[in-house]
Amino acid sequence: MENNDTGSSEIRPIPRISIQAFCETDKVQGSIQSFLEDRRLVRAHVKNHMGGIRAAIEFYENAPTPNVVIVETALEGEALFEHLNNLANVCDVDTRVIVIGSRNDVELYRKLIKFGVSEYIVAPLNTMDLIHTIGEMFTAPDAEPLGRSIAFLSTKGGSGSSTLAQNVAWSISEIFDNEVVLADFDLAGGTVGLNFNQDPAQTIADCLFSDQKIDETFLDRILSKCTDHLHLLTAPASLERTYDLKVEAADQLIETAQASVPYFVADLPCQWTPWVEHIVTSADEVVICATPDLAGLRNAKNYYDNLIQKRQTDTKPRLVLNQLGRSKETEIKPAAFEEALEAKLDLVIPFEPALFGTAMNNGLMVGESNPKAPVVNDFKSLAALVTGRVEVSALEKKGLKLPFLDMLTRPKKAS
Ligand SMILES: Nc1ncnc2c1ncn2[C@@H]1O[C@H](COP(=O)(O)OP(=O)(O)O)[C@@H](O)[C@H]1O
Ligand SMILES: [Mg+2]
C-alpha cells in the first residue's frame, strides 16, 4: 500500500525471478504490461494473465508457482481471505503474493500482511511503485536471500557427482520454471561445457580470478545461457595456467548469485581445499555422491560425519549411492552402506553405462536423450528434495512417481 516517492533512476533492476500476474481489469493489465517491458525487468520472467485470484488458484493447482504472484481482486471481507487461503494452499511456501485491490484501507492492509501477503497495492497501479516494491522484497539489506545454493560433492573421482549436479540442475530448470545457475568448480577438467554441448568464450575462471568485484552486472556478462532457465559457468578445462582458488572469490560469486538467481548449483571437484570446505559448509544443501565400494564407503562416512558436525543447524547432507550393480559380486549393498553411515540413502542409482554414455556423447542430459528412463524421475525427485519445492500435483500431472513423497509434505503458507 506504500506510496513510494522513489525517483525512477534510483530503482535497481529486478533479479532473475519469475513473476506471474492475474489481473481483473484492463487498466491493471495495462500497467503490468508496461511493468514487464521496463528495462529493469530484463532479467526476470514475467507472465501476464487475466482472471484474477480465481484464475490463479486454478492455474497453480497444476503448475509450479513462480517467485512472485500478483493478483488483482475486487473481493472483500471473508470472501477475500477465503480465496487467499485457497491460493496459499496451492502456492509454494517461498512464493510472495502481492494483492492489488481498490480499497485504500489501513486495517485491511494490516490484516493482509498478517495473513502472509507480501504487499497490498491500491489500484491504479503505478509501474515504478511495483518495480520498487518487488525490488525491495529481494534486495533490501534485511531481505531473505533470494537464492538457494546446492553443492554436489564426490567422494572419489568418477563417482558421478558432476553427472548428478548437471542432471539435477537441468531438472530444476525444467520442472520448476525457475532460473538456475550451474557453476563448474573443477577448473582444470570440469565437464559442464562438454555435457551441455556449450563452449562459451567466458568461463568461471574469468569470474574467480578477476580483479573486479563480482557483482550482478559482472555476473550477467559471464553467465552463458544454455536453455530458457539454465545458465552456465563452465570450466576453462585448460592447463595453460594453474588454479589456486581463494575462499573470498568463491564466496563472492556465490553471494552475488544467491542475490540474483533462485538456484545456484555448484559442481565441486573431488578435493578437500579451504574453498571446497567453505562452500560445502555454507551451502543450503549438500549432496554427497558415492559408489558402493570400500573407498566410496570410507570417504562418504568421512564427508558425512564431518559435514554433520560442521552444519549442525542446517539440513543434513543428502546421500546418493551411484553406479549400483557395476561390480555385483563385490559391491557393498545399500543396506550395509546405510548401516555404516548410520544414515538413510536419499537415492540409489543403478549402473547404466549405455544410458549415461549416450547422453554424454551427444552433449545432452539423460532427460533429453532418454526422457523415459526411470533415472530421470530420480533426478526430478532429488531436484524436488534439494529445492524444498515439492510441486506434487505438477509432477503427478506429468505422470511422475515420487519415491520420496512420503518424506516430503507440501509446505503451506501462513493462514
Ligand atoms: N549411474 C551411472 N551409470 C553409468 N555411468 C555413470 C553413472 N553415473 C555416472 N556415470 C559416468 O561416470 C563418469 C564419471 O562421472 P562424473 O559425474 O564425471 O564423476 P565425478 O564428478 O564424481 O568425478 C561419466 O562418464 C558418467 O557418464
Ligand atoms: Mg566431477
Tell me the pLDDT tens digit for each residue of 215-251.
Answer: 989 999 999 999 999 999 999 999 999 999 999 999 9
Q: What are 400's three cell numbers?
A: 511422475
Query: What separation in Å is there between the alpha carbon of 81 and the centre of ligand 1?
Result: 50
Cite the residue boundaries of each domain of the chain with CATH code 3.40.50.2300. 8-139
Ligand 2 centroid – CA 90 distance (Å): 37
Q: Which residue reads 496451492 in cell numbers? A: 90
Residue 119 is which amino acid?
A: E
* Backbone torsions φ then ψ of 288, nearest 5 degrees: -100, 125
148-389, which class in CATH? alpha beta
Q: Which pLDDT value is given to residue 27?
A: 96
C-alpha distances out from residue 18 to 45, 79, 100, 155, 374, Å: 5, 27, 18, 35, 29
Instruction: Indicate if the pLDDT at residue 13 is higher than 90.
Output: no
- 7, 95, 81, 115: which is closest to 388 by C-alpha? 95
> What φ, ψ does residue 21 adopt, rounded to 5°?
-115, 145
SS3 track for 74-128: CCCHHHHHHHHHHHHHHCCCCCEEEEEECCCCHHHHHHHHHHCCCEEEECCCCHH
- Given this model, what pLDDT does residue 392 score? 46
How do strand 18-23 and strand 45-50 relate by DSSP bridges? parallel
Strand order in the sheet with 18-23: 45-50, 18-23, 68-72, 96-101, 119-122
- Assess whether pLDDT exceeds 60 at residue 399: no
Residues within 5 Å of ion ligand 2, judged at the Cβ atom: 162
Ligand 1 atom 17: residue of nearest CA:
160
pLDDT of residue 233: 98
Which residues of the chain form CATH 3.40.50.300? 148-389
Distance, C-alpha 330 to centroid of its chain: 37
**Distance of alpha carbon 367 from alpha carbon 387, whole angstroms:** 18
Distance (angstroms) between ligand 2 centre and the Cα of 300 equals 15
> What is the average pLDDT value for the chain, to the nearest integer?
90
CA distance 351 to 365: 16
Instruction: Quickly state the pLDDT bin for 375 (edges 50, 70, 90).
Output: very high
CATH superfamily name and code, 8-139: Response regulator (3.40.50.2300)
pLDDT for res 126: 92
Sequence-distant (≥ 6) Cβ neighbours of residue 228 within 8 angstroms: 173
- What is the number of other CB atoms lying within 10 angstroms of the CB of residue 346? 21
Q: Which atom of ligand 1 is nearest to the CA of 323?
A: 1
- pLDDT at 66 > cutoff 60: yes
Q: Global pTM?
A: 0.88
Task: Give the pLDDT of residue 389.
Answer: 73
Q: Are 42 and 217 in contact (CB under 8 A)?
A: no
139: confidence class by pLDDT, cuts 50, 70, 90: confident
Q: What per-residue confidence (pLDDT) applies to 176?
A: 85
- In angstroms, rounded to a whole number, what is the distance separating the alpha carbons of residues 188 and 269? 10
Q: Which three cell numbers stand for residue 293?
A: 565400494
- Helix, strand or coil for residue 20? strand
Alpha-helical (H) ranges within 176-293 are 192-195, 204-208, 216-222, 247-260, 274-282
What would the grid cell of residue 124 be? Answer: 491504479
**Which residues form the pocket of ligand 1, taking CB atoms under 6 Å from any ligand atom?**
154, 157-163, 191, 270, 289, 322-323, 349, 351-353, 356, 360
Q: What pLDDT, in 10s, does the model give residues 113-130?
A: 999 999 999 999 999 999
Contact 68, 36 (CB under 8 A): no
- End-to-end Cα spacing for the chain: 21
**Residue 232, all three cell numbers:** 552456465
For the chain, give the number of residues.
415
